[in-house]
Amino acid sequence: MSIASTSVIQIIPRTRRGVELLLLVIAIGVSVAAYVNIGITVENEIPASTGYYAAGISLLALIAHMALRFRAPYADPVILPCAVLLNGLGVAMIHRVDLGLTAIGRTKGVPFAPQQITWTAVGVVLFLAVIIVVRDHRRLQAFTYSLGLAGIVLLILPLVPGLGANVNGAPIWIRVAGMSFQPGEFAKVCLVIFFAGYLVVKRDVLTLAGRRFLGLDLPRARDLGPILVAWLVSLGVLVFESDLGSSLLFFGLFLFLLYVSTERAGWLIIGGLLFVGGAYFAYLSFGHVHRRVTDWLDPWAIDGGQVKLGLMGQAWGGILGRGLGQGHPEATLYANSDMIISSMAEELGLTGLIAIILIYTLIIERGLRTALGCRDIFGKLVATGLAMSFALQVFVIVGGVTGLIPLTGLATPFMALGGTSLVANWAIIALLLRISDQARRPQTPAAPVSDETIAMAVQKQ
Amino acid sequence: MNSAIRRLAVAAIILMLALMANSTYLQAFRANEINGRNDNNRVRDSQFSVNRGPILIGSTPVAQSKPSNDRFKYQRTYPSGPVYAPVTGFYSYRFGRGGIELTMNSELNGSDPSMAFRRIIDVISNRPQQGGSVTLTLNAAAQQAAYKGLGSKTGAVVAIEPKTGKILAMATTPSYDPNRLASHDSAKVDAAWKSLTEDKDRPLSNRAAQELYPPGSTFKLITAAAALSSGKYTPETKVNSPAELPLPQTTVPLVNEDGKNCGGSNNATLTIALRYSCNTAYGSVGLALGPDALRDQAAKFGFGARPLAELPSVATSQFPGDPNEPQTAQSAIGQFDVRATPLQMAMVAAGIANKGEVMKPYLVQNVKTPDLKTVSETKPESLHQAVTPQVASELTAMMVDVVNNGTGKPGQISGVQVAGKTGTAQTAKDRPPFAWFTAFAPADDPKIAVAVLIEKADIARDDIAGGRLAAPIAKSVMEAVLSQ
């Protein structure tokens, strides 16, 4: 290299994989400590399964880490450790609830924790697949419409007779070969990619100024098409699958991406009004929505109600919590799935719950930061969509469990018991990391620029 | 696009902050309220594993926890069951708590802030949490006499130590056995709860303090107190006491129980009128004094305020708000809308007995930690000076006359001077009247004041009178205390 080239200031992009490894060690340490703590408190001994648990979670985290080292070295270093920590704490709490359920003689399906570890493995395999197969996220744009179709099909699968299964009152499951899946979880990923691909193409049309009304640039009536379709589809999900949470999630995601791609707040206002209208209509028309709302307004009225039991668990936890293994999370219905946040709040207290919310916040903000740094519009939209899907999901489920909003059946990302959701979330994390690798990767070096060219450029000015 | 993404990032943070704020409100500020809920099984589960302290009378437990090796570590038992049930209440997994078990819950399970230091020591030394003991003011002999005296009748007894306000007896019938509700066999508890709540005689209700009754002629004590306090009357003042007292604004006159005038006189003295419990005499006194004077006097004895915070849902006795003249005359003899608890009427007797000073009634003598350190000790507290000592002694003399020469004869105790007042409160035509007797003894140095109410007894309607039905019970309760 000549001396001249050293005069060019170079920012050396850093991969930060070492930081990621350190954070992973901490995440694994916290998870294993929680697991051991539960064993000591509940059974007075370090559980025999500690080795299995510790080895499993370490191995899976290490595999994911190595995949990033070799295939996406510039990927964000914070996201993976956050996911591992949430997943690890989730398994520990599921184990805790297993012990609690056994203690009160409800052994159906127990233990659930090994299942969750198995699903974590499946999730990490999918994570690897995404990191290895999807070399460049921009390739996904080619599958815009196929993925859109796949998303819709996945959404209506539970309605196919013989395939659909009604679990806990919501027909959002399918049962194949004795196993249950919640196709909506994958529909979410497909639809985010579809929305992004669609909006990349249509954003110019949608940005065209329509009428100005009350200081707002409203879109033209015919451009309202996509938002109305999204609204109707989400209402359909709500009506036919009684799935309030997913309905809000899909519509919200579409709205957010529409807003980001057009930068026009008018869409948010129209969408918000449509949402309020749809929600009110649903409240008036559907018994299950009405029940959710009344249960939210007065959780104490229903004897043995899910929300009521959860609120009691959280109150019992107080500020510092009962301590792992010292509460009664099993007294709440679905303590290891829908209500796992309440179980956490009971044993880890407000302090622990806020820490968990902050970990989610980190993932969300890291995801949005990826979107900011991403150089292509498609990637920006996909990253925004995936990050905001976390935000919405966490808000809806945690808000429901803590009594901020009516409770709807969404899975708590990475924590709740349930294979589909866990695996889908690992796929989402993989996609986010893939995009962040592109965003943080150094630009392909431009052709060497000679001093003469620079001189000419200066003279032209 | 980036500015829109940045705005979404801010929006996401706001959503997360909203979650944290709401959880903080729930777990830091609303937690106590939710933990205290009666239907909170989670908290109860943990409380069932605590060695809950006993409820004592002297050193004898009337509620205690015994080790149990079923679902829970301890079984709550009530050695004398129904006798003390209206005070101890019950401690049930499914149906919550009642009585002292409810109001002193945090002391009994050891979670009260006053025991915080002890709890920290327990945690450090790895000892399980243990609850404190609550000692009641009840007198075992008086309580047994009251419960036995009520027998199969429906009614209530309250006895108070006039000088302090200590409640010596509080019994109600029909009662219930709290052991049935404290059982760990939930099917049995469910069945017991169902039969108790569906029972028309409401055995779970503490008639002594939670239910209001027309006090009938026992209210004449308050009318007399108001009259004497007004300065316009003495016990020897003659008042209008015909067989029938015509009332303004109505054609229905006020009549005496026996349909005759007052002891042969149309102008009996207040003392004679009380001796024979003449309605017309006290009705006309009430009319002359007016409703405000009556209400004020009643309030000084405790009407209109909730006595005894140590028990849940204690009823507030009432004098009607704005009675017209016939209603005032009716109210002056404890009819119309006047409503009182047996506890309130015992407070009236105790106030007169204690030289006119009504003491605040209380049930809890003290609270102690498991290692017998006193956490709190209740001190007697004055509620009101209801009447002057002079008026109190005039009223005492009139009540002595009632027992010696009048309707209160069945309340006499040989060798002890009793002061008392009977009452027979009419309710609906198809329902038997309520029989009352309120008294204190010895008249010159009162040790006990008592009120007895009989709501229903299996005897002929004509035989129901405060003197015959209620006075013997009051007598046996007073004897139980005086013979100690």
Question: Which chain A residues are closer than 8 Å to B38 by Cβ?
Answer: none
> Of B65, B111, B175, B217, which is the active-site residue?
B217
Q: Which contacts of A46-52 are long-range, i.e. CB under 8 A and separated by 24 or more positions?
A: A47/A95, A49/A95, A49/A113, A49/A114, A52/A117
Q: Residue B408: its pLDDT value, please?
A: 86
Question: What is residue A398's predicted lDDT score, i.e. its pLDDT?
Answer: 96
Q: Which of the residues B2, B3, B15, B73 would you substitute to probe the A interface, choosing the one with the greatest number of A C-beta atoms within 10 Å?
A: B15
Contact B16 A300 (CB under 8 A): no
Specify the pLDDT at position A1: 44
What pLDDT is recorded for position B103?
Answer: 92
Contacting B residues, span 29-58, partner chain A, CB-CB under 8 Å: 30-35, 37, 39-43, 45-46
Which residues of chain A carry a pLDDT beneath 50? 1-5, 461
Strand partners of residue B167: B160
Task: Report if pTM > 0.80.
Answer: no
* Rounded Cα–Cα distance for residues A402 and A384 (Å): 26
Sequence-separated (6 or more) residues with CB below 8 Å from residue B212 = B315, B317, B318, B339, B340, B341
Contact A388 B15 (CB under 8 A): no
Q: Identify the three-state secondary structure at position A216.
A: strand
**Looking at residue A219, what DSSP letter applies?**
P
Q: How far is CA A448 from CA A10, A11, A451, B119, in A?
A: 13, 16, 10, 75
To probe the interface with B, which of A316, A343, A410 has the most B CB atoms within 10 Å? A316
DSSP secondary-structure letter at A8?
S
- B186 in reach of chain A (CB within 8 A): no
B16 and chain A: CB distance < 8 Å anywhere? yes
Q: Say whether residue B5 is in contact with chain A using an 8 A CB cutoff.
A: yes
Query: Chain A partners of B31 at a C-beta cutoff of 8 Å?
Result: 314-319
Model ipTM? 0.91
Cβ separation A315–B30 shorter than 8 A: yes
Probe site for chain B from A364, A374, A378 (most B CB atoms < 10 A): A364
Hey, are the CB atoms on A391 and B23 less than 8 Å from each other? no
Q: How many angstroms separate the CA of residue B197 from the nearest CA in chain A?
A: 18
CB A93 within 8 A of CB A344: yes
AA identity, residue A57: I
Q: Can you give the pLDDT of all 484 residues of chain B as single tens digits?
A: 899 999 999 999 999 999 999 999 999 999 988 988 878 878 877 778 888 999 999 989 999 999 888 778 889 999 999 999 999 999 988 888 899 999 998 889 887 777 777 777 776 776 777 889 999 999 999 999 999 999 988 999 999 999 999 999 999 989 999 999 998 888 999 999 999 999 988 999 999 999 999 998 999 999 999 999 999 999 999 998 888 888 888 888 888 877 788 888 888 899 999 998 889 999 999 999 999 999 999 999 999 999 998 999 899 999 998 888 889 988 999 888 899 999 999 999 999 999 999 999 999 999 998 888 888 999 999 999 999 999 999 999 999 999 998 888 898 898 899 999 998 887 766 677 889 999 998 999 999 999 999 988 766 665 666 678 888 999 999 999 998 8
Rounded to a whole number, what is the distance in Å from the CA of B55 to chain A's nearest CA?
26
Which of B6, B16, B34 is facing A312, going by the closest CB pair? B34
pLDDT at A3: 47
Q: Which residues of B touch A272 (CB under 8 A)?
A: none
Determine the Cα angle at A393 with ends A388 and A395, to 5°: 95
State the CB neighbour count (10 A cutoff) for residue B200: 5
With an 8 Å Cβ cutoff, are B15 and A259 in contact? no
Cross-chain residue pair A315–B6, CB shorter than 8 Å: no
Q: What is the pLDDT of residue A9?
A: 57
B15 in reach of chain A (CB within 8 A): yes
Distances (CA, A) of A286 to A235, A238, A406: 11, 9, 14
Number of residue pairs across A and B with CB atoms under 8 Å? Answer: 126
* Token output for A188: 């979410």
Residue of A nearest to B20 (CA): A354
Contact B42 A331 (CB under 8 A): yes
Report the phi/psi class of residue B397: left, alpha or beta, with left for phi > 0 and alpha for psi in -120 to 50. Answer: alpha
Preceding peptide of A114 cis, ω within 30°: no
Residue from the list A263, A311, A312 with its beta carbon closest to the beta carbon of B4: A263
Beta carbons of A399 and B22 less than 8 Å apart = yes
SS3 A173: strand
**Residue contact B6–A372, C-beta within 8 A:** yes
> Which of A328, A368, A380 is closest, CB to CB, to B9?
A368
Most A CBs within 10 A among B17, B42, B111, B126, hence the mutation to make, goes to B42
Nearest CB among B11, B15, B27 relative to A315 is that of B27
Interchain contact B14–A (C-beta under 8 A):
no
Mutate to test the interface with B, among A312, A377, A396 (most CBs of B within 10 A): A312
Chain-chain contact of B35 with A372 (C-beta, under 8 angstroms): no
Q: Do B19 and A402 count as a contact with CB atoms less than 8 A apart?
A: yes
Angstroms from B34 CA to nearest CA on chain A = 6
Q: Do A319 and B6 touch (CB under 8 A)?
A: no
Name the residue of chain B whose CA is nearest to A367's CA: B9
B483: annotated active-site residue: no
Q: Is B27 on the interface with A (CB under 8 A)?
A: yes
B23 touches chain A (CB under 8 A): yes
Query: What local confidence, expressed as pLDDT, does residue A385 receive?
Result: 96
Residues in A touching B12 (Cβ below 8 Å): 361, 364-365, 368, 387-388, 391
Query: In angstroms, what separates the C-alpha of A254 from chain B's closest C-alpha?
Result: 13
Out of A328, A360, A394, name the one closest to residue B42 (CB): A328
Q: How far is B10 from chain A (nearest CA, A)?
A: 9
Instruction: Please choose, from the candidates A187, A55, A176, A48, the residue with its C-alpha nearest in 3D space to the C-alpha of residue A120.
Output: A55
Q: B262 and B256 in contact (C-beta within 8 Å)?
A: yes
Instruction: State the Cα–Cα distance between residues A449 and B91, nearest whole angstrom.
Output: 87
Q: Report how far apart, in Å, the C-alpha atoms of A231 and of each of A250, A343, B141 are.
A: 9, 34, 77
Radius of gyration for the alpha carbons in chain B, expressed in angstroms and rounded:
26
